[in-house]
Amino acid sequence: MKGRFTLAIPLTAFFTLICICLIAQDNQLFTKDIGIAPYTFRRSFPHGVAATLDTIQDMGFTMIEGGGGEMVAREYKKLCDARGLSIPSTGGDYNQLLKDPGPTIERAKIYGSKYVVVFWIPHDNNELTLENAKKAAEDFNSIGKKLNEHGLTLAYHTHGYEFQSYNGGTLMDYLIKNTDPEYVAYEMDIFWVQFGGGDPVALLKKYPERWKLMHVKDMKPGIKKDLTGLTDPEHDVALGTGQIDIEEVIRTALDVGVEYFFIEDESSRIQQQLPQSIAYLRSLEK
C-alpha cells in the first residue's frame, strides 16, 4: 500500500507464528491480547503515524500504550480504532500532572484509557534518593486521587533506579508501601527491574495486588547493570533469548492478575525481534 511503513518479517519467524496458531488454545499459557509500547516504533512514527500503525496492526498487536505525539487526540484515536487498536493506558508527564492534570485527563478520556502511566521520577545525578521517593509517593497519592475522580487510575512504571537500599528493603518497597492502592497502581517493566538488581517474579509475588500493567522485554546476557535506569537500547533482545526467565514472569503475572501486557523493544532490530517475541509468548504452554 502506498505510504505504508513496512518491516520485513523473517521467514523463520513467519513460520513459527503459523505453527503457534496451530497449537490448541486451551493448552496455551498466554492467550491475552498483546500490546505494543509505542517507543518501540519511535524511529518510524515521525515518517507517518498512520503507516506505522498499519505495521503494528499487521504484526498482530491489538493494543497500544498511548502514543500520538503532537497529533490531535481524536484524530489519533480514529486511526487506532480503524486498525482495531485499543488504548487501555497512556503516558502522563510527572510535572505536568502536578501542575495541571486536565489536559492528560482529557486525552486519556478521548483514548478510552483506564490508566495514566508516569514513566520517570525527576531526580539528579542518576541516583534516586529517599527524599525523591518521599516526594514521589506524596505526589502520586495526590495526582492519583484527582485522576480517580475522573474514572482513571495512576500507574507508575518501574525504571530500575528505585532499587537503592533502604530500611532493609529498597526505595521500590517504600514507594509501594506509601502509595494508596485505591489511587496508585504499578506497571512493571521487567527489563528495568532486573537491570536495577530486582527480581521480577519475587516482586510480583511480594505485592500481588499492585501490579496492573507490564512491559515485557528481555535483556542481553552478561551486560553490566546499575541503578541509573539507563543502558544501551541494543541490550534489548527477543523474548526468550535473554537472561530474564520470561516464562516464569508471565506465569506469575497472570496468577497475580496483571491486566495488560505491552511488548517493548528499544533496539534497532525490531523487524526481526518483534515477530520472534510474539511467537515466543504464544508458544508458552500451561
HSE-CB at 207 with a 13 A cutoff on CA atoms is 21
> Residue range 256-268: average pLDDT?
98
pLDDT in tens, 77-108: 999 999 999 999 999 999 999 999 999 999 99
Assess whether pLDDT exceeds 60 at residue 12: no
For residue 86, count other CB atoms closer than 10 A to its CB.
18
Residue 125's pLDDT band, with cuts at 50, 70 and 90, is confident
Would you say 20 and 275 are in contact if contact means Cβ atoms under 8 Å apart?
A: no
Of 198, 235, 242, the residue nearest 218 (C-alpha): 242
Specify the pLDDT at position 135: 98
Domain ranges of the chain: 61-279
For residue 174, count other CB atoms closer than 10 A to its CB.
19
Q: How high is the mean pLDDT of the chain?
A: 93
Question: Hey, what CATH topology would domain 61-279 get?
Answer: TIM Barrel (3.20.20)
pLDDT in tens, 26-42: 899 999 999 999 999 99
* Percent of the chain at pLDDT exceeding 70: 91
Residues 6+ apart with CB under 8 A from 158: 172, 186, 187, 188, 189, 192, 193, 196, 198
**Beta-strand pair 165-166/169-170:** antiparallel
Determine the 3-state secondary structure of 28 from DSSP: strand
Specify the pLDDT at position 25: 67
Would you say 164 and 128 are in contact if contact means Cβ atoms under 8 Å apart?
A: yes
pTM of the predicted model as reported, rounded to 2 decimal places: 0.91
For residue 232, count other CB atoms closer than 10 A to its CB.
11
Assess whether pLDDT exceeds 70 at residue 14: no
